[in-house]
Chains A and B, each alone.
Chain A
Amino acid sequence: MQEDIAVDSALKKELQSKLSFAQKAEKPQEQAQPRQQEQKSPEPRESSSRETMQEQKPEENPKPKPRQRKSLVEGTAAERLSKGQRDISVAEFFEKNRHLLGFDNKRKALLTTIKEAMDNALDACEEAEVLPEVYIEIISMGQDRFRIIIEDNGPGIVKKNIPFVFAKLLYGSKFHSLRQNRGQQGIGISAVVLYAQLTSGRPTRITSKIGENHSAHYYELRINTLKNQPEIIKDEIREWEKPHGTRIELDLEASYYKGAQSVDEYIKQTAIVNPHATIIYVTPDGEQKIYARASEALPRQPKSIKPHPYGVELGILMKMLASTTQKTVSRFLCSDFSRVTSKTANEILKKASIEPNSKPKKLTRDEAERIIDAIRSVKIMAPPSDCISPIKEDLIEKGLKKEINAEFYTVVSRPPSVYRGYPFIIEAGLAYGGNMPKDTSASVLRFANRIPLLYQAGSCSFTKTVIATDWRNYGLSQPRGSLPVGPLLVLIHIASVWVPYTSEAKEAIASYPEIIKEVKLAMQELGRKLSRYLSKKKSVQDEIKKRGYIEKYIPHIALAIDEMLDIGEPVRIQIEERLKDILEKKRGKIEKIDFDEDANKEYDEEFAVKRTGAGILDDDYLEEETPEKEANKKENNEKQEADEKKQGGNNE
């Protein structure tokens, strides 16, 4: 199940080429040669490239495993030279791409660390069908140094895999299967280990136990940046009271802040969309926060699916052709992809002018390209959507209620849709009124496969779509090109086998038209429900006001009659009573619609997100408006309005 990874995008290809020298030692010979000239003196380069690496332990005296050492010992001069290059490669790659991996700065590094470890813990528990219980502790060790401890009750990791899972980049079970998971590329946790190692010089400590009758294994690991291979510093058997689970302990350089993009916020929001998990969090201030599980039901296990032809790119296709066990291209298409029948396969191959009986391994790059082109022109059934596990409406509502004490909640779940051959589901929720501030921009909570997205709100298609929705139609005020203003919180979740992030740091959702359309429709549905609520609220308020009138003005009518006719107090009171009868018998029972602070039983003040409105958006949110953009926007709006109308027609 766990294997080395092939990568599809340009970035990942680059990653691979930089990181996989060690495994494919015979290949890089000719690649290494020209590089050598560019980097004539690797030694000074290394020391100057990273000032923060000064305290790093020298790489040359780890306790290497004999198997790995062998290839080095036998190495030629060229290989020895290339050692320096590789050494730079991993560290340099990390340094150059740390923003893509979520380590832009010390503050974000802490969040990314917690995030990757928590994602892994929750994924592992769910895969093993265990109700997750995750323990997180951040200990401040002074001077921007922190020790992080994350412990789960997941299935544990078999001994021989532990070093690879944590101390080898691009190793994982997730990348190759199309399955709804939090992590995707298997780059996350090992990047954390690398960052910890680079900033603290200390190895990462792992304890894992796979069952009652097994012993717990304790490892101290580092990544050999020469070879992208794990280095085992310590390997012992330890006593552990847990029946099964994994514990990670690492030291790193970071900074801890509170606020909108903090670790605290991330954990809170994670709890909102993972009501089946218990999370215990000890802050650097020593405060313990317990987010108790709100639901005993595990989310439905997402199924793995084979890739859909529409989502396949040339690189992946070639890799798949090379590694398939099928004997003919036709069989390969049918069995290695979803929704390809033999009829469809033959249609594709006919268009690509390729013999159905050709051997997959023999296909040239050109032929593979023709297949890609052919796929685009053939109608293929959409991928199955039962592989997706949404949070479900009732649990989103529960989460929202925990999050914020509002007067009105509504939730929408869109039917499954497909982008580039990947199925996805959009779920959204809205909370209105109550304790939320009335004159700030709405908050947008974004989630992807149950992961909160805290950064890059402005470049995220979710935020953009909330802004592009005309909330004025639904009784809210909204400045041009901005989020609506009011006591409003919007939650959007995408569940998909492959979430299209704008970067490896997994912070914003890319703007695929299919995704934007679904989010837009979800927003419009929420908006319609909100506007129904608002108009009901208004009519009830009017009614209350009118009843107030009756109370207020009846005595004046009676008094005036008394003044004019001198009827005396008993008759005056009689008139007042008659008037009340006359006026109130016409009016029905009044519906209670006022905000009741204590009505929401789910709400937990401790748990609630501090709503600041503005804090949700980061700096890249403010885009300049150009006339061109305006025009586009207008066009889009018109189009979307038409869509809505169509949609509305279908619904009602």
Chain B
Amino acid sequence: MRKNKVEIMNDVHPKIKQFAESIKSKILSSKAPVIEIPIRSLNNVEFNKQKGHFTIKGRMKKRVLAASTSRSFAQTMRMLSLAKQLIESDDIATKRDAYYTAYNWLEAGFKSQQESDEIMDDIEAMLFTLREKLGFIPDEKGGDVVGKLVVIDEDEDKNIVKVDCSKMGTGAFSVPNSVEKLKFETKAKFVLAVETSGMFQRLVKHKFWDTAQCILISLSGVPTRAARRFVRRLSDEMSLPVYVFTDGDPYGWLNIYRTLKVGSGNAAHLNEFFCAPRSQYIGVTAQDIIDFDLPTHPLKEVDIKRLQDGLKNDPFVHAHKDWQQNLKLLLKLKKRAEQQALAKHGLNYVITDYLPKKLADHKTWLS
């Protein structure tokens, strides 16, 4: 088992040594060592139409060792060393574990977990790898899954475990942190990703997955890497379309849906794996607010900003006319609507009318 793992990690381990070696020789030749890290932000990604997701533009930030950078430089080096130890001992550490481990570094320790997360993201980007491959795993879980799906997993003793997601009772299958080893069996026609767990509960309660022959997944906010990877593999390997159902507001659109479909600006080098380009947006759209006469809330200042920023800076919006129109319409309405606003027409209106209507009419979808 141990051997196996080291083999898997083999490509990262030499990368770390190689990097340390280059820093060492730079120092010994009396030159200030430099770390180059891809810039992790929206303006360093572009929307790649062919691949269907964000790709990194390749702008790098240089961290030259100087008095003012000496702290973060030292932390980066020590974090790398910790990763190397994790790989060698076949162990894992969550982000929070790593943060606490750094208490032993005394003055080089982190003031907050945010600081240690940043350094971790830096290393991940710098080595063009997955932080899971460095032995660092996320604290948060993926999403909840119910529906026409059997997940084939194996436990620590390598026994095959089959989980039937249609037989979860009132509970749900929870997407694990690492989904790479999972295999699937399904007869579903599509995957339906839902923003709120409230809506998810309603759909599960009334067995919407059964009537619609689908797999339901609850995103609970911006989807985790694992959830994105899980959806991606389902859609790729099982050839399933992915439909996304969120609140009709900028957060649901530009944070949740856009990240699921094309990835984020923050870990752009990983978007290749962590997005589901075959996703399509079914609602709630700005037009739905009008068509379904939904109860609304006024747009907050931050919402308006987010919409304007999206129109101006988001490469995904730039590449999709229908999204531009959608954002503009919402700006014009100056209103937003939640998924649960559909309950105005009856608690189960969403199951009996809204979803069937929307699923049947792909012209109302957004790309």
B66 at the interface (CB under 8 A from A): yes
Which of A194-202, A502-510, A555-563, A591-599 sits within the interface?
A555-563
Interface status of A378 (Cβ within 8 A of chain B) = no
Interface residues of B in 89-119 (CB under 8 A from A): 105, 107-108
Q: Which of the segments B77-85, B276-284, B296-304, B313-321 contacts the partner chain?
A: B77-85
Interchain CB contact under 8 A, A582 and B107: no
B71 within 8 A of A: yes
CB pair A560 B70 closer than 8 Å? no
Q: If A549-B67, A557-B73, A563-B81 touch, does A579 touch B107 (CB 8 Å cutoff)?
A: no
5 more CB-based (< 8 A) A-B contacts, given A552-B70, A557-B70, A578-B27:
A561-B24, A561-B27, A567-B24, A575-B27, A582-B27
Give chain A's interface secondary structure class.
helix
- B211 an interface residue at 8 Å Cβ cutoff? no
| Segment with Cβ contacts to A, from B28-36, B152-160, B219-227, B333-341 | B28-36
17 A-B Cβ contacts within 8 A? A547-B67, A549-B68, A556-B75, A556-B105, A560-B20, A560-B74, A560-B80, A564-B17, A564-B20, A564-B81, A574-B28, A578-B27, A579-B27, A583-B32, A583-B65, A583-B66, A583-B70
Query: How far apart sit A500 and B65, CA to CA, in the bound complex (Å)?
Result: 64
**A582, B74: Cβ atoms under 8 Å?**
no
Cβ < 8 Å to B, chain A residues 564-611: 564-565, 567, 574-575, 578-579, 581-583, 586-587
Q: Within 8 Å of chain A (Cβ to Cβ): is B23?
A: yes
Pairwise interchain contact B68-A553, C-beta atoms closer than 8 A: no
Residues of A near B85 (CB, < 8 A) are 563
CB distance from A328 to the nearest CB of B (A): 81
CB of B24 within 8 A of CB of A556, answer no
Tell which of B67, B74, B78, B85 has the most Cβ of chain A within 10 Å: B67
Interface positions, chain B 35-79, Cβ under 8 Å from A, are: 65-68, 70-71, 73-75, 77-78
A200-B286 Cα distance, complex, nearest whole Å: 96
Among B24, B71, B107, the most chain A Cβ lie within 10 Å of the Cβ of B24
Which residues of chain A are near B65, meaning CB under 8 Å? Answer: 557, 579, 582-583
Contact of A550 among B20, B67, B75, B78 (CB under 8 A): B67
Tell me, yes or no, whether B11 is within 8 Å of chain A by CB.
Answer: no
Contact B24 A565 (CB under 8 A): yes
The answer to whether residues A549 and B28 also contact, given A564-B16, A565-B17 and a CB cut-off of 8 A, is no
**Closest 4 A/B residue pairs (Cβ):** A560-B77, A546-B67, A556-B74, A553-B74
Alpha-carbon distance between A563 and B85 when the two chains are bound, in angstroms: 9
From known contacts A547-B67, A549-B67, A578-B27, infer whether A557 and B21 are also in contact, taking CB-CB under 8 Å: no
Q: When the two chains form their complex, are residues B16 and A582 in contact, meaning their CB atoms are under 8 A apart?
A: no
Using a Cβ cutoff of 8 Å, how many contacts connect chains A and B?
81
Question: Separation in Å of the B275 CB from the closest CB of chain A?
Answer: 33
Bound state CA distance, A200 and B327, in angstroms? 93
B107 touches A553 (CB 8 A): yes
* Distance from A550 Cβ to chain B, minimum over Cβ atoms (Å): 5
Question: What is the minimal beta-carbon distance from B73 to any residue of chain A, in angstroms?
Answer: 6
Task: Tell me, yes or no, whether A314 is within 8 Å of chain B by CB.
Answer: no
List the A side residues contacting B32 at CB < 8 Å: 582-583
Chain A's interface size range is 20 to 34
CA distance A582 to B30 in the complex (A): 6
CB A548 to nearest CB in B, in angstroms, measures 9
CB contacts (< 8 Å) of A567 on chain B: these are 24
Task: Count how many chain B residues have C-beta atoms less than 8 Å from C-beta atoms of the other chain.
Answer: 29
Known contacts: A560-B80, A560-B81. The answer to whether A583 contacts B67 by CB under 8 A is yes
A375–B68 alpha-carbon span in the complex (Å): 68
Interchain CB contact (< 8 A) of A559 among B17, B24, B31, B78: B78
Complex contacts, B28 vs chain A, CB 8 Å: 574-575, 578
| A550 partner residues in chain B, CB cutoff 8 A | 67, 70
Please state if A561 and B70 are interface contacts (CB–CB under 8 Å). Answer: no
Chain A positions 521 through 548: 1 when the CB is less than 8 Å from some CB of chain B, otherwise 0: 0000000000000000000000000110
Q: How far apart sit A58 and B138, CA to CA, in the bound complex (Å)?
A: 102
- Most chain B CB atoms below 10 A, which of A563, A564, A578: A564
Taking the closest CB of chain A, its distance from the CB of B18, in whole angstroms, is 10
Bound complex: CA of A552 vs CA of B73, how far in Å? 12
Q: How far is the CB of A237 from chain B (nearest CB, A)?
A: 81
- Within 8 Å CB of A552, what residues of B? 70-71, 107-108
CA A198 to CA B230, docked complex, whole Å:
103
Query: In the complex, A546 Cα to B30 Cα: how many Å?
Result: 20
Q: A380 interface residue, CB < 8 Å from B? A: no
Contact A549 B24 (CB under 8 A): no
Decide if A553 touches B70 in the complex (CB within 8 Å): yes
Give which listed residue, A553, A560, A563, A578, contacts B71 with CB less than 8 A. Answer: A553
Q: Let me know if B17 and A546 touch, CB within 8 A.
A: no
A202 and B4 CA atoms in complex are apart in Å by 112
| Central interface residue in A546, A553, A579, by most chain B CB within 10 Å | A553
Residue of B66, B75, B105 with highest tally of chain A CB at under 10 A: B66
CB distance from B147 to the nearest CB of A (A): 46
Cβ-closest chain B residue relative to A554: B70
Q: When A565-B20, A582-B32, A582-B65 are in contact, do A560 and B27 touch as well, CB less than 8 Å? A: no
A559: nearest residue on chain B (CB-CB)?
B78
Q: A549-B71, A557-B74, A578-B28 are in contact. Are A564 and B66 (CB under 8 A)?
A: no
Q: How far is the CA of A552 from the CA of B69 in the complex (A)?
A: 12
CB distance from A517 to the nearest CB of B (A): 45
A581 close to B16 (CB less than 8 A): no
Question: How far does the Cβ of B38 sit from chain A's closest Cβ, in whole Å?
Answer: 22
Q: Which of B20, B31, B70, B80 contacts A549 (CB 8 A)?
A: B70
What is the minimal beta-carbon distance from B102 to any residue of chain A, in angstroms?
Answer: 11
Q: Is the CB of B67 within 8 A of A587?
A: yes
Give min CB distance, A523 to chain B, whole Å.
36
- List, in ascending order, chain A residues with CB within 8 A of B71's CB: 549, 552-553
Q: Which residue of B lies closest to A581 (CB)?
A: B30
Q: Are A564 and B70 in contact (CB under 8 A)?
A: no
Interface residues of B in 5-25 (CB under 8 A from A): 16-17, 20-21, 23-24
**Measured between C-beta atoms, what is the minimum distance from B7 to chain A in Å?**
20
User: How far is it, in angstroms, between the C-alpha of A550 and the C-alpha of B75 when the chains are bound?
Assistant: 13
Q: Report how far A579 CA is from B27 CA in the complex, Å.
A: 7
**A561-B23, A561-B24, A565-B21 given; A553·B30 CB < 8 A:** no
**In whole angstroms, what is the CA distance A236 to B20 when docked?**
102
Q: Provide the residues of chain B in CB contact with A587, threshold 8 Å.
A: 67
Please name the residue on chain A nearest to B16 by beta carbon: A564
Interface residues of B in 313-358 (CB under 8 A from A): none
**Chain A residue with the shortest CB-CB distance to B24:** A561
Residue of A nearest to B72 (CB): A553
Cβ contacts under 8 Å, A575 to chain B: 24, 27-28
Q: Is the CB of A561 within 8 A of B30?
A: no
Are A557 and B20 also in contact (CB < 8 A) when A549-B67, A578-B28, A587-B67 are?
Answer: no
User: What does the 1/0 interface line of A325-367 toward B look like (CB < 8 Å)?
Assistant: 0000000000000000000000000000000000000000000
Docked CA distance A567–B67 (Å) = 24
* CB of A586 to closest CB in B, whole Å: 8
A546 to B28, CA, bound (A): 23
Q: Least Cβ distance of B249 to chain A in Å?
A: 42
Docked complex Cα distance between A418 and B77 (Å) = 69
Distance in angstroms between the alpha carbons of A587 and B68 in the assembled complex:
12
**Distance A581 CA – B65 CA, assembled complex (angstroms):** 12
Residues of B close to A557: CB separation below 8 A: 65, 70, 73-74, 77
